[in-house]
Amino acid sequence: MNSRERVVRAIEFQQPDRPPIQHAILPAAQYKYGDALTSILDNVHEDFGWHLLPDLPREKLPPMYKKGFNTDDFGTVWMVETDGICGIPKQFPINEDWSNYEQYSLPEVFTTSIPKYRMYSGHMAGTSDDYYARGAWIVFFEQLQQLHGFEATLMDIFTDRSEIYRLRDKLLEFNLAYIDNWLEMEYQGLHFADDWGTQVSLLIPPDKWRLFFKPIYDEMFKKVKEAGLHVWFHSDGNISEIIPDLVELGIDVINCQTSVIEEDIIRQFVGKICFRTDLDRQGVLPNASPQEVKGYVNELFHALGTANGGIVANGEVGPDMPLENIEAMYEAFMEFKW
């Protein structure tokens, strides 16, 4: 079977011949390791068309990945300490007291704003029937923070300030139009992402999440599902309390930090939802031995997947991950057997 069929079968539990592999390589790792990393990747059959995508030179990094202070299309100023590692938003276009809200406008939605680089799992795989094309990186909660600031956004959500509801609805309208642009092209899945958890719990009470955010995700996901595409969702942290909600909303693939989530929650959805694996990039990947990395991958795949599917093999490669561990991770991906 070709790569596209392998991915679809993994997501839909139709017995792929092996877990499909997807790269998640930070530009900073590419810059650090160069040809040595490329030689490892040359021996990996990646199923999303990574090799079809253009390289990402430093001068073309987007604002949140380019060293220094940079302003994005929304007017947010980012501080980035290292090229190729996502920085921190430092200045926000909407004041904390909303005094300039009426003067602020979201940028226009236009197709050329769609990111086309490897770090975003870009669109060029859509030109080949052999590969699964997963597009977009659509954020909502994070975009609210980048527009208004993290603390101010949370405070206004907790106090039900009217302006935060107005901004929410305006951003939903923007995202729905943005999704329409993606749906005009040849994709099999679109990716959504919002980091909702700390290492121990959800950032806001789940009831507030269900009131304020769940209807927003519902509208966005429905548009994608009705077009016949898979919905992918990423969230860091412990999101145990909302995984059932996300599954109810129809996501097909989840990329979550299973290492910090209660096992009984994860166990409920093994065999029912596909996991794009999030290998422990804080402890195991940078610090373990290559043999320990292999053992960890094998154990995790057996815990999350089934012989019918349910796994997309993925592990983020950062500049703190030794080359020998990168190689061991990919060897474990390719050697895995049920």
Residue range 271-298, pLDDT digits in tens: 999 999 999 999 999 999 999 999 999 9
Q: What type of residue sits at position 165?
A: Y
Indicate the pLDDT class of residue 124, thresholds 50, 70 and 90: low
How far is 90 from 279, CA to CA, in rounded Å? 29
Q: Where are the beta strands (DSSP E) in the chain?
A: 24-25, 68-71, 77-80, 88-91, 134-138, 189-193, 230-235, 253-256, 274-276, 311-312, 316-317
Indicate the pLDDT class of residue 230, thresholds 50, 70 and 90: very high
* Residue 324 pLDDT greater than 70, yes or no: yes
Contact 336, 21 (CB under 8 A): no
Query: For position 121, what pLDDT does the model report?
Result: 46
Q: What is the mean pLDDT of residues 178-192?
A: 95
Q: What domains can be seen in the chain, in order of their start residue?
A: 3-62+93-335 (3.20.20.210)
How far is 270 from 299, CA to CA, in rounded Å? 14
pLDDT in tens, 13-58: 999 999 999 999 999 999 999 999 999 999 999 999 998 888 778 8
How far is 120 from 125, CA to CA, in rounded Å? 12
Q: What is the chain's percent helix, strand, coil content, to nearest 5?
A: 45, 15, 40
Contact 82, 28 (CB under 8 A): yes
Query: For position 258, what pLDDT does the model report?
Result: 94
* Residue 160 pLDDT greater than 60, yes or no: yes
pTM for this predicted structure? 0.94
DSSP 132: -
Instruction: Supply 192's token pair.
Output: 């959504």
Cβ neighbours of residue 200 closer than 8 Å, sequence gap 6 or more: 238, 260
What residues are paired with 313 via a beta bridge? 21
How far is 211 from 176, CA to CA, in rounded Å? 19
Q: Which of 70, 76, 109, 72 is nearest to 95 (CA)?
A: 76
Q: Which of 169, 163, 147 is nearest to 102 (CA)?
A: 163
Q: Are strands 77-80 and 68-71 parallel, antiparallel or unpaired?
A: antiparallel
Three-state DSSP class for residue 313: strand
Cβ neighbours of residue 169 closer than 8 Å, sequence gap 6 or more: none
